[in-house]
Structure 1
Amino acid sequence: MTGQPRKARPRRTFSAFGDVRRMPSEYEIVTHGQNWTMRANRPSAFEHNPSSPPNLWFLTYRENSPLKAEDWEQFRDPDSMTYKTYVNLQAEAETKTAGVLEEFAEANADSALTPGQVALLGSMFTPSRYLLHGCQQVEAYIGYMAPTSYVTNAASFATADYLRRVTLTAYRTRELQLAHPDSGIGTAERGIWENDEAWQPARQAIEKALIAYDWGEAFTALNLVLAPTIDDVLVRQFTEVSRDNGDQLSWLLLSFLQADNDRRNRWSAALAGFCLQQKPENADVLRRWIARWTPVADAAAHGLGRLLETRPEHGRAADEVAAGAKAAREAFHARLFEGLEAAGEGKRAG
């Protein structure tokens, strides 16, 4: 009909995502804009009292972090993990873990462990729950302080992964204590964590990470440096040595955990790459933090390597352990460092 204005076409997507002309995925719908400490066009949920301690904390360690982005809401977890998919995934993983634990318990496998392997388990595996709990706390802090719910969710699932590891370690500690009541397992771990020289670099590393209050530095310290380094010792190399010493249960259980570590590494590398795409000057920020935390991680790996060298019958030299952990971290960093170099070259060219 002539003379009448045309009706505007209805939006085919959600307004929170802008004029993107596409249907958001389920992952985006349940994740987008869910960070309660953020508000559109305002930095914090505490804007009505800008001088309150919580608001000042977020202002100092998040909004004023040297790690910047034009729009944090554009980041995406490469696994598109939601609460539903995470729970289903880990339910399957726990079913497999429970089956292995039951099978080895029925076979009374712990009683057949060699003295050297029992010593390794009691000096390295069972005390590791203190370190893992510290990692869990740092990961939870990263999620709480993150400037977007896309990072908050990913870090929350990584926090749950650490809780799963702590729980499994505690469960195995009790099983080993029952099988070897005179070994000190189940009672000596705190003293080992606090006083054993081999553990002190790792203890120092996580305690320093716990006071890395800038959210970007905490993310870099744990997810980009400490975790990739230490996990290579506590998971890959520990399981290899355990297998060589006839401990098939430890080899199997900790190998299952590698899937959690790989998932954390994927979204962490993606976030670092996203930061470089958003602002090339983030390259210098990440380089500085990585350089600060690398010696701390290497010292922790070498200290733990001493346990792999001295405790089991078939061990591995501490220098070899540290070199292996460093190589694993550098392999993880390979693409990231390529991005850092490209960003640096682009900045210098500009």
Structure 2
Amino acid sequence: MATPVKRPDHDAVRSFPKPEFTDAEAGALDFPSSTSRSYNYFEPAKLRATTYEDVTFDVQPDPARYLTQGWIYGFADGEGGYPQDWTALKSNDWHQFRDPNQEWEQTIYRNNANVVRQIQQNLANAKLAGAYAGWSPGWMHFVERNLGAWMHAENGIGLHVFVACQRSAPTNMINNAMAVNSAHKLRFAQDLALYNLDLSEAGIGFDGSVHRSVWHEDPLWQGVRENAERLTAIGDWGQALFATNVVYETLVGGLFRSHLVMQISARNGDYVTPSLVGTGENDYARDLAYTRSLLTLLVRDAEHGAANRAQLQEWLGEWLPVSLHAAHELQPIWSHPAERVVPFADSLAAAKDDLREVLSDLGLEEPKELAE
């Protein structure tokens, strides 16, 4: 016979464990902004914080500000988080840097999408108008070899310099700017690749594959290739930023893009290429702006300014000869187009002036090589 099951008395009063609230250390402390509803836990650059500051400032933690227990993760060699000795440059407060371009996620996509749409429209209009049919064989030869080779330089710098560096700096503000820098380079390299493909399919006899042999074998481009490859081997993110955006980009990048291609394309009947290369120049203007802002902050640092200037001067002495050599190796391509417009000496002098302007802002001495 089965034993009857005793059911609980539903009318009985039941008891439940009651939560006990204790004063955990963080919750019990009074902070300067404990009663504030603005959530401004940092000092904005201006009167009110911008959206850029709200979404980028302190996204990357820092033991000097909030992580009182130190880094909560580390590397196999014992270093934790974002070591400040990943560059020889020093700062009293790395968090003072603000990107003058105020780049954050929304602006990155919006700006690059606008550039891509502009380029696609220009290329589509060029096809409809048959703009490539009027190119002379000499100009077509110049574009397929030299603009195609430059695509490799942009891709290498973007992928192996700035993508590598964009995680290394001690604040999210700096890393974010370098990440955008890498996106600029990679997008521009892709633009050049798509342009190369369009020209190959335009029925004008354009050789869309010759750029590979030019980059690998043409003696005129081996100085640029050496310069770009040596930049990718730099371990110090501050040195990589200075050597690339200040030295290489003014003496080699600006020399080729601005002081050659942009100057001579129209004279050779080409109104499409400058619209494409102009986007790369606009990218570099923005990238140079954040670079100058950061380096100016470092050379004016109350404690480390003099040491930072000395370090930049040392790096300038190391990388200036490399980029000048690369620039001089390119000299013969100035004679390739039928309409030359500007001599190499004038283009190089303009590129040197661009570098002098940056060096003056940073309080660096002009090396004697610039006067030669």
Shift, 1:209, TM fit: 0.4
On the 8 A contact 1:58/1:145 being kept in 2, the answer is: yes
User: Aligned residue for 1:142?
Assistant: 165
User: Aligned residue for 1:320?
Assistant: 346
User: Aligned residue for 1:202?
Assistant: 224
Indicate which of 71, 76, 96 corresponds to 1:74: 96
Alignment of 1:144-183 (within 5 A): 144-179=167-202, 182-183=205-206
On the 8 A contact 1:298/1:322 being kept in 2, the answer is: no
- Alpha carbons of 1:192 and 1:64: their partners in 2 closer, same or farther (altered >3 Å)? closer
On the 8 A contact 1:305/1:322 being kept in 2, the answer is: no
User: Aligned residue for 2:112?
Assistant: 90
Alignment of 1:1-40 (within 5 A): 10-11=35-36, 13-14=38-39, 16-17=41-42, 24-35=49-60, 39-40=63-64
- Alpha carbons of 1:303 and 1:48: their partners in 2 closer, same or farther (altered >3 Å)? closer
Structure 2 Cα separation of the partners of residues 20 and 255 of structure 1: 31
**Alignment deviations for residues 124-169 of structure 1 (CA, whole Å, 9 cap, x no partner):** 1012111111110212222121111111111111111111111110
Do structure 1's residue 231 and structure 2's residue 231 form an aligned pair? no
Q: Which has the higher helix share?
A: 1
**Alignment deviations for residues 286-326 of structure 1 (CA, whole Å, 9 cap, x no partner):** 111122111111122222232122x2101244333333322
* SS of equivalent residue, structure 1 residue 198: helix
When Rg is computed on C-alpha atoms for both structures, the one with the higher figure is 2
On the 8 A contact 1:224/1:290 being kept in 2, the answer is: no
Structure 2 Cα separation of the partners of residues 321 and 294 of structure 1: 17
Shift, 1:47, TM fit: 4.6
Structure 2 Cα separation of the partners of residues 256 and 283 of structure 1: 32
Do structure 1's residue 285 and structure 2's residue 322 form an aligned pair? no
User: Aligned residue for 2:355?
Assistant: 329
Do structure 1's residue 252 and structure 2's residue 275 form an aligned pair? yes
**Alignment deviations for residues 73-132 of structure 1 (CA, whole Å, 9 cap, x no partner):** 111111222221232223223222222111111112112211111111012101211111
Gaps of 5+ in 1: 1-6, 342-350
Structure 2 Cα separation of the partners of residues 290 and 29 of structure 1: 35
Structure 2 Cα separation of the partners of residues 182 and 22 of structure 1: 59
* SS of equivalent residue, structure 1 residue 139: helix
**Alignment deviations for residues 14-69 of structure 1 (CA, whole Å, 9 cap, x no partner):** 46427999753221121112337x554679957555526xx49965xx52532011
Give the residue type in structure 1 aligned to 2:187.
R
User: Aligned residue for 1:348?
Assistant: none
Please report the RMSD computed on the Cα atoms of aligned residues, expressed in angstroms: 2.9
* SS of equivalent residue, structure 2 residue 321: helix
Give the residue type in structure 2 aligned to 1:274.
L
Greater shift after overlay, 224-233 or 125-134? Answer: 224-233
Identity within the alignment, %: 23
Structure 1 Cα separation of the partners of residues 346 and 234 of structure 2: 29
User: Aligned residue for 2:370?
Assistant: none
Give the residue type in structure 2 aligned to 1:260.
D
User: Aligned residue for 2:286?
Assistant: 263
Gaps of 5+ in 2: 1-31, 366-372
Alignment of 1:297-316 (within 5 A): 297-309=323-335, 311-315=336-340, 316=342
Give the residue type in structure 2 aligned to 1:119.
H
Greater shift after overlay, 246-255 or 227-236? Answer: 227-236
Greater shift after overlay, 227-236 or 122-131? Answer: 227-236
On the 8 A contact 2:299/2:362 being kept in 1, the answer is: no
Q: What's the TM-score, normalizing by structure 2?
A: 0.79
Q: What's the TM-score, normalizing by structure 1?
A: 0.84
Give the residue type in structure 2 aligned to 1:157.
V
* SS of equivalent residue, structure 1 residue 81: coil
